[in-house]
Amino acid sequence: MYEGAVQDLIDELGRLPGVGPKSAQRIAFHLLSAESADVTRLVAALTRVQESVRFCVTCYNVAEAEQCRICRDPRRVDDVLCVVEEPKDVVAIERTREFRGRYHVLGGAISPIDGVGPDDLRVKELMTRLMNGAVTELIIATDPNLEGEATAAYLARLVGPMGLAVSRLASGLPVGGDLEYADEVTLGRAFEGRRRIDA
Ligand SMILES: [Zn+2]
């Protein structure tokens, strides 16, 4: 189609989620005609992400230090823990300003079809965190779809014997949807109206 470098760029862009061949081509040609300083900034941002971003050793959110910004914040409360699937869900919940506790990022959801079981997620790490007894309330904020519900039910059963207050985000969230696409008001309300799960 195109020669060497241009086609390589289109191929790489096309591998990104949500970028089809047409978009890949459009982005590639945008970059070709962009100011050289803009392209340099983009390259630098990619390099920095690759070199300096890692997962928080405590909650598995993305972090630039050993611990993420939220785990390092002494103003957050330690007795409420919110379990989410991905770091992007942390960002979505932070936007609501409803939550002052800590997070635990599972790294996905249980999905038998995709071959993802509890052992593929950071469930063991969650149990270890709960063992020390500091957490008294667990909020399960997995996505309101099949996999998210299955994960919530599994976790509720698992932590049942620990005597924690366990809640799930209230309805109002679009069923079958993704937490990150919910607007702040809806997600904030779902948070306030979370309901207790009796395991
Ligand atoms: Zn953290």
Residues near 41 by Cβ (< 8 Å), separated by ≥ 6? none
Going by C-alpha positions, the residue among 46, 148, 45, 134 that lies closest to residue 89 is 148
Mean pLDDT for 63-77 is 95
CA–centroid distance, residue 5 to ligand 1 (Å)? 39
Going by C-alpha positions, the residue among 102, 104, 103, 164 that lies closest to residue 137 is 164
CA–centroid distance, residue 147 to ligand 1 (Å)? 24
What are the pLDDT digits (tens) for 142-196?
988 889 989 999 999 999 999 899 998 766 666 666 777 777 767 776 777 777 7
What are the pLDDT digits (tens) for 89-107?
999 999 988 899 999 999 9
CA–centroid distance, residue 131 to ligand 1 (Å)? 17
CATH number of the 55-168 domain: 3.40.1360.10
**Numbered ranges of CATH 1.10.8.420 in the chain:** 4-52
Q: Which residue has the higher pLDDT, 85 or 169?
A: 85
CATH 1.10.486.10 fits 4-52, yes or no: no
**Numbered ranges of CATH 3.40.1360.10 in the chain:** 55-168
CA–centroid distance, residue 162 to ligand 1 (Å)? 23
- Report pTM: 0.74
